[in-house]
């Protein structure tokens, strides 16, 4: 079970917005990863502090947390199942939006078949729950990084369909579910699938990529340009970066589900590129290099 959010921020349950904000700022400065490089415990605490602040600084989320604790994100479903749900308020432009990231098959009732043999291409109603509609949506890794919008077709009771625009938040992954409650009581669940990326491989909040580096930069060290999902950066390659040398770039991974303003890391694996179309002078230099290696007994 996660720690109590009030305990994380060191405030009482009756703390007002100003007290929460002040406590968050103090702790965030104390445990910020930039001020504690390499400190895993500080990094963990920083994520925990952000998560607590995200909930307690939002009046609606805080009210749900006070009622349901760690299950606050699923408050409406819990209350609906207990017969206590109220749908009279909280709608924006005719729909209620909730983002589901965990395994909630027990609460959803029969939701486990969503990610079986495949998503299909159209929305479908859940068996036995006529106002619950599953809609498969495929997005790119860039869209998962920044969040995106989609227009989806939602079937109506008359056999036709209507088109609605939905917002998909940052940090979703394949298997994530986004819940949109419509004003007429229809519950739409987006089944997210993130397409494979040509350059980056995702591992939770972290990303992995390969970097083709000139042979001389891999051997002597150098600086190359690299583009992460956040944008361009100058990447320093340490000397003696042979095949498989991995470089960690903090904060250039994916946004974290609990705190989308905090990012995982990017790991870049160096792949030295052998030079092509050598000039005569370059070949002679390489011959000298080989002779030196042999003379020093370093040739393998």
Question: In 40-128, at which residue ranges do the beta strands (DSSP E only) sit?
Answer: 95-100, 124-126
Q: Which long-range contacts (CB under 8 A, 24 or more apart) does 215-222 make?
A: 215/272, 215/273, 215/274, 215/275, 216/275, 217/241, 218/242, 218/245, 218/270, 218/272, 219/272
In this structure, are residues 171 and 143 in contact, taking their beta carbons and an 8 Å threshold? no
Q: Is residue 91's pLDDT more than 70?
A: no
Question: What residues have CB less than 8 Å from 99, skipping those under 6 apart?
Answer: 73, 169, 172, 176, 177, 178, 179
Q: Supply the pLDDT for residue 100.
A: 47
- Helix 59-68 and helix 40-56, axial crossing angle in degrees, nearest 10: 100
Q: How many helices (H) and strands (E) does the chain have?
A: 9, 13
Task: Match 């408050």 to its residue by tokens.
Answer: 75
The CA distance from 114 to 116, in Å, is 6
Q: Where are the alpha helices (DSSP H) in 147-296?
A: 215-220, 280-295
Q: Supply the pLDDT for residue 124.
A: 56
Q: Supply the pLDDT for residue 114.
A: 30
Task: Match 């972290």 to its residue by tokens.
Answer: 206
* pLDDT band (50, 70, 90) for residue 172: very high
Q: What percent of the chain has pLDDT over 70?
A: 79
Residue 274 in tokens? 């052998």
Tell me the per-residue pLDDT of 215-249, one tens digit each, with 9 for 90 and over: 888 888 888 889 999 999 988 888 888 778 899 99
Superfamily the domain 201-295 falls into: Urease metallochaperone UreE, N-terminal domain (2.60.260.20)
Give CATH for domain 1-86: 1.10.287.110
Tell me the per-residue pLDDT of 42-79, one tens digit each, with 9 for 90 and over: 888 888 898 888 889 888 889 888 888 877 777 776 66
Tell me the torsion sign for CA atoms 27, 2, 261, 55. Answer: negative
- Determine whether 263 is exposed, middle or buried from the number of CB atoms within 10 Å of its CB (0-12, 13-18, 19+): buried
Q: Supply the pLDDT for residue 102.
A: 40
Same fold, 90-196 and 201-295: yes
Q: Is residue 193's pLDDT more than 80?
A: yes
Beta bridge pairs of residue 207: 202, 266
Domain-by-domain residue ranges, the chain? 1-86, 90-196, 201-295
Average pLDDT over residues 106-125: 36
Q: Supply the pLDDT for residue 197.
A: 93
Superfamily the domain 90-196 falls into: Urease metallochaperone UreE, N-terminal domain (2.60.260.20)
Query: Whole-model pTM above 0.85?
Result: no
Query: Regarding predicted confidence, which is higher, 158 or 163?
Result: 163
Q: What does pLDDT average to over the chain?
A: 78
Q: Which residues of 157-181 are buried (b: 16+ CB within 10 A; e: fewer)?
A: eeeeeeebebebbbbbbeebbbbbb
* pLDDT band (50, 70, 90) for residue 31: confident
């Amino acid at each position: 079970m996660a720690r109590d959010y009030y305990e994380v921020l060191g405030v009482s349950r009756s703390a007002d917005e100003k007290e929460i904000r002040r406590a968050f700022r103090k702790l965030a400065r104390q445990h910020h990863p930039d001020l504690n490089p390499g400190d895993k415990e500080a990094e963990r605490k920083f994520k925990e502090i952000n998560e607590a602040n995200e909930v307690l600084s939002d009046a609606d989320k805080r009210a749900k947390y006070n009622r349901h604790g760690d299950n606050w994100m699923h408050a409406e479903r819990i209350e609906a199942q207990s017969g206590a749900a109220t749908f009279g308020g909280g709608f924006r432009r005719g729909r209620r939006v909730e983002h589901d990231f965990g395994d909630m098959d027990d609460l959803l009732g029969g939701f486990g078949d969503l990610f079986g043999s495949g998503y299909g291409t159209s929305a479908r109603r859940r068996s036995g729950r006529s106002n619950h509609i599953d809609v498969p949506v495929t997005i790119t890794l860039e869209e998962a990084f920044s969040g995106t919008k989609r227009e989806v077709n939602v079937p109506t009771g008359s056999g036709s369909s209507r088109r609605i625009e939905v917002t998909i938040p940052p940090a979703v992954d394949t298997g994530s579910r986004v819940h949109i409650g419509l004003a007429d009581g229809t519950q739409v669940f987006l089944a997210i699938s993130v397409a494979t990326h040509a350059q980056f491989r995702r591992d939770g909040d972290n990303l992995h990529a390969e970097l083709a580096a000139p042979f001389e930069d891999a051997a002597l060290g150098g600086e190359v340009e690299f583009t992460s999902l956040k944008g361009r950066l100058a990447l320093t390659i340490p000397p003696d970066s042979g095949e498989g040398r991995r470089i960690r770039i903090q904060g250039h991974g994916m946004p974290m589900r609990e705190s989308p303003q905090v990012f995982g890391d990017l790991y870049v694996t160096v792949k030295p590129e052998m030079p092509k179309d050598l000039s005569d002078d370059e070949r002679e230099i390489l011959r000298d290099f080989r002779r030196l290696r042999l003379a020093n007994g370093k040739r393998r």
